[in-house]
Protein backbone atom coordinates (compact mmCIF):
# COMPACT_ATOMS: atom_id res chain seq x y z
CA UNK A 1 0.00 0.00 0.00
CA UNK A 2 1.46 3.36 -1.05
CA UNK A 3 0.30 5.64 1.75
CA UNK A 4 0.78 8.80 -0.30
CA UNK A 5 -1.72 7.70 -2.94
CA UNK A 6 -4.66 7.17 -0.58
CA UNK A 7 -7.93 9.06 -0.85
CA UNK A 8 -9.69 10.33 2.28
CA UNK A 9 -11.71 7.15 2.65
CA UNK A 10 -8.67 5.02 1.90
CA UNK A 11 -6.54 6.79 4.51
CA UNK A 12 -9.23 6.78 7.17
CA UNK A 13 -10.05 3.09 6.60
CA UNK A 14 -6.38 2.11 6.68
CA UNK A 15 -6.03 3.82 10.07
CA UNK A 16 -9.30 2.37 11.36
CA UNK A 17 -8.46 -1.17 10.27
CA UNK A 18 -5.00 -1.00 11.79
CA UNK A 19 -3.21 -1.35 8.43
CA UNK A 20 -1.30 1.82 9.26
CA UNK A 21 -1.27 4.46 11.97
CA UNK A 22 -1.99 8.15 11.73
CA UNK A 23 1.60 8.74 12.81
CA UNK A 24 3.04 6.53 10.07
CA UNK A 25 0.79 8.24 7.56
CA UNK A 26 1.95 11.71 8.62
CA UNK A 27 5.62 10.63 8.53
CA UNK A 28 5.19 9.20 5.08
CA UNK A 29 3.83 12.54 3.85
CA UNK A 30 6.57 14.54 5.56
CA UNK A 31 9.15 12.26 3.94
CA UNK A 32 7.65 12.74 0.49
CA UNK A 33 7.43 16.50 1.02
CA UNK A 34 11.14 16.56 1.95
CA UNK A 35 11.96 14.62 -1.18
CA UNK A 36 9.67 16.19 -3.79
CA UNK A 37 8.58 19.62 -2.64
CA UNK A 38 11.90 21.41 -3.19
CA UNK A 39 11.15 21.28 -6.94
CA UNK A 40 7.41 21.99 -6.62
CA UNK A 41 7.26 24.59 -3.84
CA UNK A 42 3.77 23.85 -2.60
CA UNK A 43 4.41 24.26 1.14
CA UNK A 44 5.39 27.49 2.85
CA UNK A 45 5.43 26.23 6.45
CA UNK A 46 5.30 22.74 7.92
CA UNK A 47 3.24 22.21 11.07
CA UNK A 48 5.12 19.12 12.24
CA UNK A 49 4.51 19.52 15.95
CA UNK A 50 0.82 20.19 15.55
CA UNK A 51 0.34 17.49 12.91
CA UNK A 52 2.19 14.79 14.80
CA UNK A 53 0.40 15.65 18.06
CA UNK A 54 -2.95 15.22 16.31
CA UNK A 55 -1.80 11.96 14.72
CA UNK A 56 -0.72 10.65 18.14
CA UNK A 57 -4.13 11.57 19.56
CA UNK A 58 -5.85 9.58 16.78
CA UNK A 59 -3.54 6.63 17.33
CA UNK A 60 -4.30 6.52 21.03
CA UNK A 61 -8.06 6.59 20.30
CA UNK A 62 -7.51 3.69 17.91
CA UNK A 63 -5.39 1.80 20.46
CA UNK A 64 -8.21 2.11 23.00
CA UNK A 65 -10.59 0.68 20.41
CA UNK A 66 -12.76 3.81 20.30
CA UNK A 67 -14.83 4.76 17.24
CA UNK A 68 -12.73 7.01 15.09
CA UNK A 69 -14.01 10.31 13.67
CA UNK A 70 -14.71 10.46 9.91
CA UNK A 71 -11.37 11.99 8.86
CA UNK A 72 -9.25 10.15 11.43
CA UNK A 73 -5.58 10.53 10.54
CA UNK A 74 -6.18 12.08 7.11
CA UNK A 75 -3.22 14.38 6.26
CA UNK A 76 -4.36 17.75 4.91
CA UNK A 77 -2.77 21.05 3.86
CA UNK A 78 -4.21 24.51 4.51
CA UNK A 79 -3.86 27.51 2.21
CA UNK A 80 -1.76 30.18 3.86
CA UNK A 81 -4.57 32.76 3.90
CA UNK A 82 -6.38 30.66 6.54
CA UNK A 83 -5.15 31.40 10.04
CA UNK A 84 -3.76 28.63 12.23
CA UNK A 85 -3.05 29.14 15.92
CA UNK A 86 0.65 28.94 16.67
CA UNK A 87 1.54 28.19 13.04
CA UNK A 88 2.96 31.02 10.94
CA UNK A 89 0.40 32.36 8.45
CA UNK A 90 1.71 34.77 5.83
CA UNK A 91 -1.00 34.96 3.16
CA UNK A 92 1.90 34.72 0.73
CA UNK A 93 2.99 38.23 1.75
CA UNK A 94 6.11 39.77 3.26
CA UNK A 95 3.89 42.04 5.30
CA UNK A 96 2.79 38.99 7.34
CA UNK A 97 6.18 37.29 7.15
CA UNK A 98 6.40 36.69 10.89
CA UNK A 99 2.72 36.53 11.75
CA UNK A 100 1.76 33.74 14.14
CA UNK A 101 -2.02 33.89 14.64
CA UNK A 102 -3.56 33.54 18.10
CA UNK A 103 -6.63 31.68 16.79
CA UNK A 104 -7.82 29.09 14.27
CA UNK A 105 -9.96 29.44 11.18
CA UNK A 106 -13.32 27.65 11.68
CA UNK A 107 -12.84 25.40 8.63
CA UNK A 108 -9.54 24.18 10.11
CA UNK A 109 -11.11 23.67 13.54
CA UNK A 110 -13.83 21.56 11.93
CA UNK A 111 -11.37 19.47 9.93
CA UNK A 112 -9.30 18.77 13.03
CA UNK A 113 -12.38 18.00 15.09
CA UNK A 114 -13.18 15.36 12.45
CA UNK A 115 -9.73 13.85 12.97
CA UNK A 116 -7.70 15.42 10.14
CA UNK A 117 -3.97 15.97 10.60
CA UNK A 118 -2.73 19.39 9.45
CA UNK A 119 0.61 18.91 7.68
CA UNK A 120 1.30 22.55 6.95
CA UNK A 121 0.48 25.73 5.10
CA UNK A 122 0.22 25.95 1.35
CA UNK A 123 1.88 28.46 -0.93
CA UNK A 124 -0.42 30.93 -2.72
CA UNK A 125 -0.46 34.26 -4.51
CA UNK A 126 -0.03 37.21 -2.16
CA UNK A 127 -3.38 37.79 -0.43
CA UNK A 128 -4.86 35.35 -2.98
CA UNK A 129 -4.43 37.87 -5.80
CA UNK A 130 -3.41 36.05 -8.93
CA UNK A 131 -4.03 33.20 -11.33
CA UNK A 132 -0.58 31.60 -11.53
CA UNK A 133 0.93 31.61 -8.03
CA UNK A 134 3.72 33.82 -9.38
CA UNK A 135 2.60 36.59 -7.01
CA UNK A 136 3.69 34.68 -3.91
CA UNK A 137 6.24 36.83 -2.08
CA UNK A 138 8.18 33.67 -1.17
CA UNK A 139 8.54 31.42 -4.19
CA UNK A 140 6.56 30.29 -7.21
CA UNK A 141 4.83 26.89 -7.32
CA UNK A 142 5.65 24.55 -10.21
CA UNK A 143 2.97 22.42 -11.83
CA UNK A 144 3.71 18.78 -10.91
CA UNK A 145 2.60 17.66 -14.37
CA UNK A 146 5.19 19.90 -16.07
CA UNK A 147 7.59 21.82 -13.86
CA UNK A 148 8.07 24.57 -16.44
CA UNK A 149 4.40 25.51 -16.10
CA UNK A 150 2.33 27.32 -13.48
CA UNK A 151 -0.05 25.36 -11.23
CA UNK A 152 -2.66 28.09 -11.54
CA UNK A 153 -3.62 30.40 -8.72
CA UNK A 154 -4.17 31.67 -6.29
CA UNK A 155 -4.48 28.30 -4.49
CA UNK A 156 -1.55 26.94 -6.53
CA UNK A 157 0.17 25.22 -3.60
CA UNK A 158 -3.09 23.59 -2.51
CA UNK A 159 -3.69 22.16 -6.00
CA UNK A 160 -0.08 21.13 -6.69
CA UNK A 161 0.26 19.32 -3.36
CA UNK A 162 -2.81 17.15 -4.03
CA UNK A 163 -1.64 16.46 -7.59
CA UNK A 164 1.85 15.51 -6.38
CA UNK A 165 0.57 13.30 -3.52
CA UNK A 166 2.00 15.65 -0.89
CA UNK A 167 -1.38 15.87 0.91
CA UNK A 168 -4.55 13.79 0.67
CA UNK A 169 -6.68 16.93 0.49
CA UNK A 170 -6.21 20.66 0.99
CA UNK A 171 -8.26 23.75 1.66
CA UNK A 172 -8.13 26.60 -0.79
CA UNK A 173 -10.01 29.85 -1.21
CA UNK A 174 -11.83 31.17 -4.26
CA UNK A 175 -12.63 34.84 -4.85
CA UNK A 176 -12.69 34.69 -8.64
CA UNK A 177 -11.63 31.13 -9.46
CA UNK A 178 -8.72 30.42 -7.16
CA UNK A 179 -9.86 26.90 -6.24
CA UNK A 180 -11.31 25.82 -9.59
CA UNK A 181 -8.65 27.15 -11.96
CA UNK A 182 -5.61 25.63 -10.18
CA UNK A 183 -7.59 22.38 -9.78
CA UNK A 184 -8.05 22.34 -13.55
CA UNK A 185 -4.38 23.18 -14.26
CA UNK A 186 -3.12 20.43 -11.93
CA UNK A 187 -5.69 17.75 -12.78
CA UNK A 188 -7.49 17.54 -9.43
CA UNK A 189 -11.00 18.26 -8.12
CA UNK A 190 -11.76 21.75 -6.73
CA UNK A 191 -15.04 22.91 -5.25
CA UNK A 192 -16.20 26.45 -4.54
CA UNK A 193 -19.33 26.21 -2.38
CA UNK A 194 -22.23 28.67 -2.32
CA UNK A 195 -21.53 32.04 -0.68
CA UNK A 196 -22.42 31.52 2.99
CA UNK A 197 -22.15 27.71 2.94
CA UNK A 198 -18.77 27.63 4.69
CA UNK A 199 -17.77 29.97 7.49
CA UNK A 200 -15.02 32.42 6.56
CA UNK A 201 -14.02 33.09 10.14
CA UNK A 202 -10.23 33.12 10.11
CA UNK A 203 -9.87 33.72 6.38
CA UNK A 204 -7.62 36.72 5.77
CA UNK A 205 -10.01 38.76 3.64
CA UNK A 206 -9.34 39.72 0.03
CA UNK A 207 -12.83 40.72 -1.22
CA UNK A 208 -15.45 39.94 1.40
CA UNK A 209 -18.48 39.68 -0.89
CA UNK A 210 -16.62 37.24 -3.17
CA UNK A 211 -14.39 35.15 -0.87
CA UNK A 212 -15.15 31.45 -0.34
CA UNK A 213 -13.34 28.52 1.31
CA UNK A 214 -13.46 25.04 -0.27
CA UNK A 215 -11.63 21.75 -0.83
CA UNK A 216 -9.12 20.50 -3.39
CA UNK A 217 -9.09 16.71 -3.56
CA UNK A 218 -8.22 13.69 -5.69
CA UNK A 219 -11.85 12.56 -6.12
CA UNK A 220 -15.33 14.04 -6.14
CA UNK A 221 -16.27 11.86 -3.18
CA UNK A 222 -13.40 13.36 -1.18
CA UNK A 223 -14.67 16.85 -2.03
CA UNK A 224 -18.10 15.81 -0.73
CA UNK A 225 -16.54 14.51 2.49
CA UNK A 226 -14.59 17.71 3.13
CA UNK A 227 -17.55 19.94 2.30
CA UNK A 228 -19.78 17.96 4.69
CA UNK A 229 -17.17 18.50 7.39
CA UNK A 230 -16.61 22.25 6.99
CA UNK A 231 -20.08 23.47 5.91
CA UNK A 232 -22.78 24.99 8.08
CA UNK A 233 -23.63 27.99 10.19
CA UNK A 234 -20.92 29.42 12.44
CA UNK A 235 -21.81 32.11 14.98
CA UNK A 236 -18.35 33.64 14.37
CA UNK A 237 -19.25 34.53 10.75
CA UNK A 238 -22.51 36.43 10.37
CA UNK A 239 -22.50 35.74 6.62
CA UNK A 240 -22.53 31.98 7.15
CA UNK A 241 -25.99 30.70 6.31
CA UNK A 242 -28.49 28.92 8.52
CA UNK A 243 -29.23 26.40 5.76
CA UNK A 244 -29.27 22.65 6.57
CA UNK A 245 -26.24 20.76 5.27
CA UNK A 246 -27.20 17.61 3.34
CA UNK A 247 -25.20 14.41 3.49
CA UNK A 248 -23.28 15.13 0.30
CA UNK A 249 -21.71 11.67 0.25
CA UNK A 250 -25.07 9.87 0.34
CA UNK A 251 -26.39 12.27 -2.33
CA UNK A 252 -23.61 11.19 -4.73
CA UNK A 253 -25.30 7.89 -5.38
CA UNK A 254 -28.58 9.33 -6.63
CA UNK A 255 -29.04 8.86 -10.40
CA UNK A 256 -28.28 11.72 -12.79
CA UNK A 257 -30.71 10.46 -15.42
CA UNK A 258 -33.01 13.23 -16.69
CA UNK A 259 -31.09 16.05 -15.00
CA UNK A 260 -31.00 19.04 -17.33
CA UNK A 261 -27.59 20.54 -18.02
CA UNK A 262 -27.16 23.89 -19.71
CA UNK A 263 -24.46 24.81 -22.22
CA UNK A 264 -23.98 28.57 -22.45
CA UNK A 265 -22.94 29.74 -25.88
CA UNK A 266 -21.09 32.71 -24.34
CA UNK A 267 -18.75 30.28 -22.57
CA UNK A 268 -17.84 28.39 -25.74
CA UNK A 269 -16.91 31.40 -27.82
CA UNK A 270 -13.83 33.28 -28.94
CA UNK A 271 -10.61 32.79 -27.01
CA UNK A 272 -11.33 29.20 -26.03
CA UNK A 273 -8.51 26.80 -26.89
CA UNK A 274 -9.81 24.19 -29.39
CA UNK A 275 -8.40 21.29 -27.36
CA UNK A 276 -10.19 22.50 -24.25
CA UNK A 277 -13.40 22.95 -26.21
CA UNK A 278 -13.19 19.42 -27.58
CA UNK A 279 -12.55 17.89 -24.14
CA UNK A 280 -15.53 19.71 -22.62
CA UNK A 281 -17.78 18.78 -25.52
CA UNK A 282 -16.75 15.12 -25.11
CA UNK A 283 -17.54 15.33 -21.40
CA UNK A 284 -20.96 16.77 -22.16
CA UNK A 285 -21.48 13.87 -24.57
CA UNK A 286 -20.69 11.41 -21.75
CA UNK A 287 -23.16 13.16 -19.47
CA UNK A 288 -25.82 12.89 -22.12
CA UNK A 289 -25.05 9.17 -22.50
CA UNK A 290 -25.67 8.92 -18.74
CA UNK A 291 -29.17 10.21 -19.42
CA UNK A 292 -28.76 13.95 -18.84
CA UNK A 293 -30.63 16.26 -21.14
CA UNK A 294 -28.43 18.94 -22.74
CA UNK A 295 -30.09 22.33 -23.21
CA UNK A 296 -28.61 25.40 -24.89
CA UNK A 297 -28.83 28.49 -22.68
CA UNK A 298 -27.63 32.08 -22.78
CA UNK A 299 -25.83 34.11 -20.12
CA UNK A 300 -25.96 37.40 -22.04
CA UNK A 301 -23.95 39.65 -19.68
CA UNK A 302 -20.88 37.38 -19.57
CA UNK A 303 -18.75 39.81 -21.58
CA UNK A 304 -18.92 42.33 -18.71
CA UNK A 305 -17.91 39.85 -16.01
CA UNK A 306 -14.16 40.51 -15.96
CA UNK A 307 -14.52 44.29 -15.80
CA UNK A 308 -17.14 43.97 -13.07
CA UNK A 309 -15.10 41.51 -11.04
CA UNK A 310 -11.89 43.55 -11.19
CA UNK A 311 -13.70 46.65 -9.93
CA UNK A 312 -15.64 44.98 -7.10
CA UNK A 313 -12.69 42.80 -6.04
CA UNK A 314 -10.13 45.60 -6.04
CA UNK A 315 -12.50 48.02 -4.28
CA UNK A 316 -13.09 45.55 -1.47
CA UNK A 317 -9.40 44.65 -1.36
CA UNK A 318 -8.34 48.28 -1.00
CA UNK A 319 -10.58 48.53 2.04
CA UNK A 320 -9.68 45.14 3.58
CA UNK A 321 -5.95 45.69 3.19
CA UNK A 322 -6.07 49.06 4.95
CA UNK A 323 -5.58 47.15 8.21
CA UNK A 324 -1.99 46.29 7.30
CA UNK A 325 -0.37 49.51 8.40
CA UNK A 326 2.51 48.34 10.58
CA UNK A 327 0.66 49.16 13.81
CA UNK A 328 -1.01 45.95 14.92
CA UNK A 329 0.22 43.11 12.76
CA UNK A 330 3.10 42.14 10.63
CA UNK A 331 5.91 44.11 9.16
CA UNK A 332 6.79 47.59 10.45
CA UNK A 333 9.38 49.73 8.72
CA UNK A 334 12.29 50.91 10.87
CA UNK A 335 14.10 54.23 11.06
CA UNK A 336 11.09 56.37 10.26
CA UNK A 337 10.55 59.89 11.53
CA UNK A 338 6.77 60.17 11.64
CA UNK A 339 3.64 58.10 11.92
CA UNK A 340 2.62 58.72 8.32
CA UNK A 341 6.08 57.78 7.11
CA UNK A 342 5.79 54.57 9.14
CA UNK A 343 2.49 53.70 7.43
CA UNK A 344 3.84 54.52 4.00
CA UNK A 345 7.17 52.74 4.34
CA UNK A 346 5.64 49.64 5.97
CA UNK A 347 3.10 49.25 3.17
CA UNK A 348 5.60 50.12 0.46
CA UNK A 349 8.14 47.54 1.64
CA UNK A 350 5.58 44.98 2.82
CA UNK A 351 3.28 44.63 -0.21
CA UNK A 352 4.23 43.23 -3.61
CA UNK A 353 3.57 44.85 -6.99
CA UNK A 354 0.26 43.13 -7.81
CA UNK A 355 -1.21 43.91 -4.39
CA UNK A 356 -0.23 47.56 -4.77
CA UNK A 357 -1.74 47.68 -8.26
CA UNK A 358 -5.04 46.43 -6.86
CA UNK A 359 -5.06 48.76 -3.87
CA UNK A 360 -4.56 51.67 -6.28
CA UNK A 361 -7.24 50.45 -8.70
CA UNK A 362 -9.70 49.86 -5.89
CA UNK A 363 -9.00 53.15 -4.16
CA UNK A 364 -9.51 54.94 -7.45
CA UNK A 365 -12.81 53.12 -8.16
CA UNK A 366 -14.12 54.11 -4.71
CA UNK A 367 -12.95 57.71 -4.72
CA UNK A 368 -15.38 60.62 -4.72
CA UNK A 369 -16.25 61.54 -8.29
CA UNK A 370 -15.51 58.07 -9.66
CA UNK A 371 -17.64 55.97 -7.31
CA UNK A 372 -20.80 56.24 -9.44
CA UNK A 373 -19.00 55.66 -12.70
CA UNK A 374 -17.13 52.55 -11.56
CA UNK A 375 -18.14 50.94 -8.28
CA UNK A 376 -21.86 51.66 -8.42
CA UNK A 377 -22.01 50.71 -12.10
CA UNK A 378 -20.16 47.47 -11.35
CA UNK A 379 -22.67 46.60 -8.62
CA UNK A 380 -25.52 47.08 -11.09
CA UNK A 381 -23.87 44.86 -13.67
CA UNK A 382 -23.25 42.32 -10.91
CA UNK A 383 -27.01 42.19 -10.36
CA UNK A 384 -27.54 41.58 -14.09
CA UNK A 385 -24.99 38.76 -14.11
CA UNK A 386 -26.77 37.20 -11.14
CA UNK A 387 -30.08 37.52 -12.94
CA UNK A 388 -28.60 35.74 -15.99
CA UNK A 389 -28.03 32.70 -13.78
CA UNK A 390 -31.48 32.94 -12.15
CA UNK A 391 -33.06 32.85 -15.60
CA UNK A 392 -30.87 29.97 -16.74
CA UNK A 393 -31.63 27.91 -13.64
CA UNK A 394 -35.34 28.13 -14.40
CA UNK A 395 -34.53 25.88 -17.37
CA UNK A 396 -31.66 23.70 -16.17
CA UNK A 397 -30.35 21.97 -13.03
CA UNK A 398 -26.69 22.72 -13.69
CA UNK A 399 -24.45 24.49 -16.21
CA UNK A 400 -21.35 22.95 -17.78
CA UNK A 401 -18.45 25.13 -18.97
CA UNK A 402 -14.68 24.92 -19.38
CA UNK A 403 -12.94 25.95 -16.14
CA UNK A 404 -10.29 27.96 -17.95
CA UNK A 405 -9.88 28.88 -21.62
CA UNK A 406 -6.47 27.14 -21.79
CA UNK A 407 -4.44 24.50 -20.00
CA UNK A 408 -1.53 25.53 -17.73
CA UNK A 409 0.78 28.13 -19.27
CA UNK A 410 4.53 28.53 -18.77
CA UNK A 411 5.98 30.36 -15.80
CA UNK A 412 6.74 33.92 -16.85
CA UNK A 413 4.36 33.82 -19.82
CA UNK A 414 1.89 36.38 -18.49
CA UNK A 415 3.77 38.16 -15.72
CA UNK A 416 4.37 41.26 -17.86
CA UNK A 417 0.76 41.51 -18.95
CA UNK A 418 -1.65 41.73 -16.00
CA UNK A 419 -4.62 42.25 -18.30
CA UNK A 420 -3.98 38.95 -20.15
CA UNK A 421 -3.79 37.26 -16.75
CA UNK A 422 -7.11 38.85 -15.68
CA UNK A 423 -8.92 37.95 -18.92
CA UNK A 424 -8.21 34.24 -18.40
CA UNK A 425 -10.53 34.30 -15.35
CA UNK A 426 -13.56 34.71 -17.62
CA UNK A 427 -15.30 31.40 -16.83
CA UNK A 428 -14.79 31.44 -13.07
CA UNK A 429 -15.47 34.98 -11.79
CA UNK A 430 -19.17 34.88 -12.63
CA UNK A 431 -19.91 32.23 -9.99
CA UNK A 432 -18.32 34.45 -7.34
CA UNK A 433 -20.24 37.52 -8.46
CA UNK A 434 -23.50 35.51 -8.30
CA UNK A 435 -22.54 33.49 -5.20
CA UNK A 436 -23.44 30.16 -6.82
CA UNK A 437 -21.45 26.92 -6.30
CA UNK A 438 -19.03 25.53 -8.87
CA UNK A 439 -16.79 22.51 -9.15
CA UNK A 440 -13.88 21.79 -11.49
CA UNK A 441 -13.08 18.20 -12.37
CA UNK A 442 -10.53 16.73 -14.76
CA UNK A 443 -11.94 15.95 -18.22
CA UNK A 444 -8.99 14.93 -20.33
CA UNK A 445 -5.60 16.16 -21.45
CA UNK A 446 -4.05 18.22 -24.20
CA UNK A 447 -1.62 16.70 -26.73
CA UNK A 448 1.14 17.85 -24.37
CA UNK A 449 -0.41 15.79 -21.56
CA UNK A 450 -1.62 18.82 -19.63
CA UNK A 451 -4.84 18.40 -17.62
CA UNK A 452 -8.06 20.04 -18.79
CA UNK A 453 -10.83 20.97 -16.36
CA UNK A 454 -14.60 21.02 -16.77
CA UNK A 455 -16.63 23.32 -14.54
CA UNK A 456 -20.15 22.49 -13.33
CA UNK A 457 -22.14 25.37 -11.83
CA UNK A 458 -25.23 24.91 -9.68
CA UNK A 459 -28.08 26.74 -7.99
CA UNK A 460 -27.53 28.48 -4.67
CA UNK A 461 -27.02 25.88 -1.91
CA UNK A 462 -27.35 23.04 -4.39
CA UNK A 463 -23.81 21.66 -4.14
CA UNK A 464 -25.41 18.20 -3.96
CA UNK A 465 -26.45 18.26 -7.63
CA UNK A 466 -23.10 19.43 -9.03
CA UNK A 467 -21.26 16.90 -6.88
CA UNK A 468 -23.60 14.19 -8.11
CA UNK A 469 -23.03 15.10 -11.77
CA UNK A 470 -19.28 15.37 -11.24
CA UNK A 471 -19.21 11.99 -9.51
CA UNK A 472 -21.24 10.32 -12.24
CA UNK A 473 -18.94 11.73 -14.92
CA UNK A 474 -15.81 10.77 -12.96
CA UNK A 475 -17.04 7.19 -12.53
CA UNK A 476 -17.93 6.90 -16.21
CA UNK A 477 -14.73 8.49 -17.55
N1 LIG B 1 -7.41 35.23 -10.41
C2 LIG B 1 -8.38 36.02 -9.72
C3 LIG B 1 -7.71 37.24 -9.16
O4 LIG B 1 -6.56 37.40 -9.40
C5 LIG B 1 -9.04 35.23 -8.64
C6 LIG B 1 -8.25 35.15 -7.38
C7 LIG B 1 -8.98 34.38 -6.32
O8 LIG B 1 -9.96 33.70 -6.58
N9 LIG B 1 -8.50 34.53 -5.09
O10 LIG B 1 -8.30 38.04 -8.52
Q: What residues line ligand 1, using a CB cutoff of 6 Å? A: 128-131, 154, 174-178, 206, 313, 425
Q: Which of 425, 426, 433 for mutating ligand 1's site (highest number of atoms within 8 Å of CB)? A: 425
Is 158 among the catalytic positions? no
CB-based contact 329:321 (threshold 8 Å): no
pLDDT one-digit tens code per residue, 134-182: 999 999 999 999 999 999 999 999 999 999 999 999 999 999 999 999 9
Q: Give the C-alpha separation, 224 to 215, whole Å.
A: 9
pLDDT of residue 135: 98
Q: Distance from the CA of 444 to the center of ligand 1, in angstroms?
A: 24
H/E stretch holding 457 reads strand 451-458
Q: Give the C-alpha separation, 471 to 40, whole Å.
A: 29
Closest ligand 1 atom to residue 177 Cα is 8
Q: Which of 154, 308, 314, 429 for mutating ligand 1's site (highest number of atoms within 8 Å of CB)? A: 154
pLDDT band with cut points at 50, 70 and 90 for residue 442:
very high
Q: Distance from the CA of 178 to the center of ligand 1, in angstroms?
A: 5
Q: Distance from the CA of 4 to the center of ligand 1, in angstroms?
A: 29
Q: Distance from the CA of 414 to the center of ligand 1, in angstroms?
A: 15
Closest ligand 1 atom to residue 178 Cα is 8
Q: Is the pLDDT of residue 329 over 90?
A: no
Q: Tell the CATH topology of 3-251.
A: Amidase signature (AS) enzymes (3.90.1300)
Phi and psi based region of residue 353 (left: phi greater than 0; alpha: psi -120 to 50; beta: remaining): alpha
Which residues are paired to 43 by β-bridges? 122
Is 79 among the catalytic positions? yes
DSSP assignment letter at 328: S
pLDDT of residue 363: 97
Q: Give the C-alpha separation, 126 to 349, whole Å.
A: 14
pLDDT of residue 169: 98
Is 238 among the catalytic positions? no
pLDDT one-digit tens code per residue, 348-407: 999 999 999 999 999 999 999 999 999 999 999 999 999 999 999 999 999 999 999 999
pLDDT one-digit tens code per residue, 235-278: 999 999 999 999 999 999 999 999 999 999 999 988 899 999 99
Q: Distance from the CA of 36 to the center of ligand 1, in angstroms?
A: 27
Q: Considering only CA atoms, which residue is closest to atom 4 of ligand 1?
A: 130
Closest ligand 1 atom to residue 131 Cα is 1
Closest ligand 1 atom to residue 309 Cα is 10
Q: Considering only CA atoms, which residue is closest to atom 5 of ligand 1?
A: 176
Q: Give the C-alpha separation, 355 to 343, whole Å.
A: 16
Q: Distance from the CA of 174 to the center of ligand 1, in angstroms?
A: 7
Catalytic one of 131, 132, 136, 154: 154
Closest ligand 1 atom to residue 210 Cα is 8
**What's the rounded mean pLDDT across residues 124-130?**
98
Query: Domains of the chain: which residue ranges?
Result: 3-251
pLDDT of residue 270: 85
pLDDT of residue 1: 87
User: pTM value?
Assistant: 0.98
Nearest to 223 by CA among 213, 231, 235, 215: 215
Q: Considering only CA atoms, which residue is closest to atom 10 of ligand 1?
A: 129
CB burial of 101-115 (b: ≥16 within 10 Å; e: otherwise) equals beebbbbbbbbbebb
Q: Is the pLDDT of residue 17 over 90?
A: yes
pLDDT of residue 153: 97
Q: Which of 92, 125, 316, 415 for mutating ligand 1's site (highest number of atoms within 8 Å of CB)? A: 125
Q: Distance from the CA of 360 to the center of ligand 1, in angstroms?
A: 17
Closest ligand 1 atom to residue 179 Cα is 8
Catalytic one of 93, 131, 155, 178: 178
For the chain, the average pLDDT equals: 97
Catalytic one of 79, 192, 221, 414: 79
Q: Distance from the CA of 476 to the center of ligand 1, in angstroms?
A: 31
Amino acid sequence: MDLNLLTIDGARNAVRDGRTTATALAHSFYAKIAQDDPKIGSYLTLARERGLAKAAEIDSLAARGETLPPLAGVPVGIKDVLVTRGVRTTAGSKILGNYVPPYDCTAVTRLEAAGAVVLGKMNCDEFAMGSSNENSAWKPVHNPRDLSRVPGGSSGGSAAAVAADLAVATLGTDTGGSIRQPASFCGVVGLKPTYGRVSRYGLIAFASSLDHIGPLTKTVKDAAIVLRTIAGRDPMDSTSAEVPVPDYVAELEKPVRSLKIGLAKEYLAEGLDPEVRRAVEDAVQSLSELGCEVVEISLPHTEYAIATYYIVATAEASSNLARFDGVRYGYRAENVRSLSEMYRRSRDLGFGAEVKRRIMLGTYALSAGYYDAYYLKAQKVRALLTRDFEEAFKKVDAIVTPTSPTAAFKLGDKTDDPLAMYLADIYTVTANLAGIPGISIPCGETKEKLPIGMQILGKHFDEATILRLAHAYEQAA
